């Protein structure tokens, strides 16, 4: 059956991908460099990420949004295209493993201390694998179904944060100049704004491709704006010093809120929305891997790859980083450059494809 995705479904997946991979950690990452100007850093990262993806999608549009993996073969040639496709698959596996580890870290540190991280890793990967068996369409349908509920939980949580908000914590603006703001924007540019290029794999299934670029960029813009507002309120509530000391400052702020006696654990609303978003992101990465392997194997389906890739992701999630501090350090120093490398390679391949096409047309 041919897969057809609506623009609304695609928007919901982009939004989940952008927001919930970083909303609990983004304040700490930006505040580490920019202090009370962390919200400006997040806004700057959003704008730069939007511009980078606008260029990426503009070039992709010239090919009429085919399969990303087929495009790499046509633009770069069979052998080089295969190498680049393997690189894209590796990046998707690596990202899925880090998000799985991020989920288990959060559950063990903030929600159910002293529990074993493998419990959450295996549960989420079983759910992701089952969704992959059902197919791409099912992920987008689930995202569409839960999107209004997720938005309600997210906005409700942010409204509650305003209770202790104080503008004093955000002053003085630009105290240390523009350099720390750039330093704060650097880690969040890669996490999550450049990562979202993986979702271009699903553009081939979009029903209204003429609106693909607008849908994609709208998801990034709205997600970036909400992340910036979140960082703004979290800094105004806790102060830059306290935010910088927390692993998951957004969750910590909500945990301290008592909204009348029957709503004392309002942070669970954010946790539910966050876990839903992580499920969408892990499954999207998993499906990118499946589509890529199916293309390389020239197979009619990807079912026999599901269990090996699930085991590989689980193993990587437990061996890539020793601790949350190690993970945060890697994201702060290397993650953006790491993803910019893949981004640059794909852009170069797009341009090579244009040159080859012109040469072929000239020789005819």
Within the chain, which residues score under 50 in pLDDT?
A: 1, 260-262
What are 250-259's pLDDT values in tens digits?
877 777 665 5
- Establish if 2 belongs to a structural domain: no
Q: Note whether residue 71 is domain-resident.
A: yes
pLDDT of 262: 45
Q: Would you say residue 271 lies in a domain? A: yes
329 in any annotated domain: no
Given the structure tokens 């910036």, which residue do they identify?
Answer: 228
Q: Model-level pTM? A: 0.93
Domain CATH for 150: 1.20.1740.10
* In a domain? residue 328: no
Q: Is residue 1 part of a domain?
A: no
Whole-number pLDDT of residue 261: 46
Please give the pLDDT value at position 27.
85
Q: How many domains does the chain have?
A: 1
Q: Is residue 327 one of the residues assigned to a domain?
A: no
Q: Provide the residue range defining the domain that includes 167.
A: 7-321+335-363
Which candidate, 213, 217, 162, 192, places its Cα nearest to that of 284?
192
CA distance 289 to 299: 14
For residue 118, the model assigns a pLDDT of 92
Residue 159 in domain: yes
């Amino acid at each position: 059956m041919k897969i057809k995705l609506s623009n609304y479904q695609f928007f919901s997946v982009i939004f989940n991908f952008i927001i919930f991979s970083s909303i609990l950690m983004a304040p700490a990452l930006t505040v580490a460099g920019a202090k009370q100007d962390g919200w400006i850093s997040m806004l700057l990262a959003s704008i730069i990420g939007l511009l980078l993806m606008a260029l990426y999608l503009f070039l992709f549009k010239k090919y009429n949004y085919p399969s990303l993996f087929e495009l790499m073969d046509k633009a770069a040639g069979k052998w080089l295209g295969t190498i680049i496709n393997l690189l894209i698959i590796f990046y998707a596996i690596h990202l899925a493993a880090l998000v799985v580890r991020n989920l288990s870290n959060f559950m063990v540190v903030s929600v159910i201390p002293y529990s074993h991280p493998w419990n959450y890793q295996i549960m989420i990967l079983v759910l992701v694998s089952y969704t992959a068996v059902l197919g791409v369409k099912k992920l987008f349908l689930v995202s569409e179904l839960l999107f209004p509920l997720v938005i309600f939980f997210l906005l409700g949580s942010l409204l509650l944060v305003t209770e202790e908000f104080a503008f004093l914590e955000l002053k003085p603006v630009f105290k240390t100049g523009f350099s720390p703001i750039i330093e704060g924007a650097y880690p969040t540019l890669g996490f999550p704004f450049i990562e979202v290029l993986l979702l271009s794999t699903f553009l081939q299934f979009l029903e209204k491709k003429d609106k693909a670029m607008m849908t994609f960029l709208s998801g990034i813009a709205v997600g970036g704006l909400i992340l910036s507002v979140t960082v703004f309120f979290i800094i105004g509530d806790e102060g830059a010093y306290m935010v910088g000391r927390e692993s998951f400052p957004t969750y910590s702020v909500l945990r301290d809120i008592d909204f009348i006696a029957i709503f004392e654990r309002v942070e669970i609303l954010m946790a539910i929305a966050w876990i839903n978003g992580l499920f969408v992101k892990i499954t999207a990465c998993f499906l990118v891997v499946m589509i890529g392997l199916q293309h390389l194997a020239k197979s009619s389906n990807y079912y026999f790859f599901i269990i090996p890739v699930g085991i590989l992701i689980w193993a990587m999630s437990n061996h890539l980083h020793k601790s949350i501090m190690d993970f945060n350090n890697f994201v702060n120093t290397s993650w953006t450059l790491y993803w910019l490398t893949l981004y640059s390679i794909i852009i170069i391949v797009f341009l090579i494809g244009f040159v080859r096409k012109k040469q072929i047309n000239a020789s005819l």
